[in-house]
């Protein structure tokens, strides 16, 4: 027998530690190579660490909710080239056997949670999956368990069939639910941002009719050609990047009384998760992509964000953030700056409006697609002429979009 020290791997330049969330194996369990062993979390992303070797989990060096430094040992495994594989308990293989017969895959993490919660195969098979090909993700099973444990109680009404003039007895109930870890971190971050930055918000309306016509014309052929959905967000990102190049003082951060100018343009995309939490994946070097490249990377980041597949470093280092509040049906808003950035733009709902169209032959009235841009910025370092001017610059780039653009 020899010992193998499992270390916490590097997860990006700015990430020095992670919290141990849950061990997926117990001491004495046999671990196969590439089998998931422990679930960890950084500030924004939950990840899973697999074992690089076959072995027996000899000792866990950290308990749940303890913080481990990158590079430190978190567990010790006993290894041997011809290590005997110990039998797995019947309760743990019931799901696996059924899975083989029914060809629906469940990850080791999902199976482990199901076993801990006493969920048998038939119940697990009834859970709707949001993953690829209907696969049940960790979020899916945790949501199912939460709903199961916290059933909504409908207030009881006595004498409901009596005269409406008579009083009815009501039983009002409240459900107290603790914030999860991500919600706590988000709440803390929002309050810190409001306390640090002097928030001001400017609003600009933009005509995006050309963009809508272009997408309607190109979306089907583009998806057939590339397998990707043609999203409007790619155009918004492209226009924001152009505006940042024109007005680079938007792409800064503040350290005390020092202004730090960023040479790279890293665009964060505020993304709502199925459980209601928020995450901000980052397009690194967004100015290096053409429109097709932006479409592909945006689709990939958002898809993996919603299925909890992002790497920790993919949520770090943003220099400017965009939030699509139009996806919630909102027209405009006052977004909170994502520290240590100094500005954020919210994209509102696209609406058809009767508009006055100026032409060489006079003014006309027509139906146009309009959108509001809400631009919040830090008034400590950005005045209205720059903050409002930047929003107008983005609007002009949107309006100047060539609807005959080929992709």
> Any idea which residues carry the catalytic annotation?
379, 383
CA pair distance 36, 64, nearest whole angstrom: 16
Using DSSP bridges, classify how beta strands 267-272 and 282-283 pair: parallel, antiparallel or unpaired. antiparallel
Give the closest residue to 370 by CA, choosing from 204, 232, 201, 236. Answer: 204
For residue 399, give both structure tokens: 């309006």
User: Residue 379 carries which DSSP code?
Assistant: T
CA pair distance 78, 210, nearest whole angstrom: 64
Burial status of residue 304 (CB atoms within 10 A of its CB: 0-12, 13-18, 19 or more): middle
CA pair distance 90, 397, nearest whole angstrom: 63
For residue 345, give both structure tokens: 């733009």
Using DSSP bridges, classify how beta strands 343-347 and 320-324 pair: parallel, antiparallel or unpaired. parallel
| H or E element at residue 115 | helix 108-117
- Count of beta carbons in the 10 Å neighbourhood of residue 176: 4
Rounded to 10 deg, the angle between the 233-246 and 384-399 helix axes is 130
Give the closest residue to 376 by CA, choosing from 339, 326, 340, 333. Answer: 333
DSSP H helices, 166-208, are 181-196
CA pair distance 252, 263, nearest whole angstrom: 9
Give the closest residue to 341 by CA, choosing from 259, 241, 278, 281. Answer: 259
């Amino acid at each position: 027998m020899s010992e193998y020290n499992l270390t916490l791997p590097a997860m990006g330049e700015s990430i020095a530690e992670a919290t141990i969330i849950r061990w997926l194996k117990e001491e004495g369990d046999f671990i196969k190579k590439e089998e998931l062993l422990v679930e960890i979390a950084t500030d924004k992303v939950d990840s899973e660490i697999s074992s690089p070797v076959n072995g027996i989990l000899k000792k866990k060096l950290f308990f749940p909710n303890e913080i481990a430094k990158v590079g430190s040992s978190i567990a010790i495994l006993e290894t041997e080239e011809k290590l005997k594989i110990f039998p797995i308990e019947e309760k743990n293989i019931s799901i696996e056997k059924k899975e083989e017969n029914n060809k629906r895959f469940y990850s080791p993490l999902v199976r482990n949670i199901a076993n801990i919660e006493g969920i048998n195969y038939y119940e697990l098979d009834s859970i709707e999956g949001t993953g690829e090909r209907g696969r049940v993700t960790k979020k899916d099973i945790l949501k199912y368990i939460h709903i199961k444990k916290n059933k909504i109680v409908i207030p009881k009404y006595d004498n409901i069939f009596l005269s409406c003039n008579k009083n009815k007895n009501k039983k009002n109930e409240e459900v107290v639910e603790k914030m999860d870890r991500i919600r706590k971190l988000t709440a803390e971050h929002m309050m810190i941002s409001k306390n640090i930055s002097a928030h001001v918000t400017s609003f600009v309306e933009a005509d995006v009719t050309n963009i809508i016509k272009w997408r309607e014309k190109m979306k089907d052929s583009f998806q057939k050609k590339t397998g990707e959905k043609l999203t409007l967000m790619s155009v918004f990102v492209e226009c924001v990047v152009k505006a940042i190049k024109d007005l680079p003082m938007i792409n800064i951060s503040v350290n005390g009384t020092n202004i730090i100018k960023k040479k790279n343009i890293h665009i964060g995309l505020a993304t709502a998760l199925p459980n209601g939490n928020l995450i901000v994946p980052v397009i690194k070097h967004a100015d290096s992509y053409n429109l097709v490249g932006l479409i592909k990377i945006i689709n990939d980041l958002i898809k993996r964000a919603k299925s909890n597949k992002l790497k920790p470093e993919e949520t770090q280092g943003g220099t400017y953030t965009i939030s699509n509040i139009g996806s919630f049906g909102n027209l405009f808003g006052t977004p909170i700056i994502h520290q240590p950035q100094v500005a954020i733009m919210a994209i509102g709902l696209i609406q058809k409006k009767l508009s006055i169209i100026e032409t060489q032959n006079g003014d006309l009235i027509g139906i146009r697609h309009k959108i509001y841009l809400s631009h919040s910025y830090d008034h400590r370092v950005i005045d209205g002429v720059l903050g409002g001017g930047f929003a107008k610059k983005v609007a002009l780039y949107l309006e100047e979009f060539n609807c005959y653009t080929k992709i």
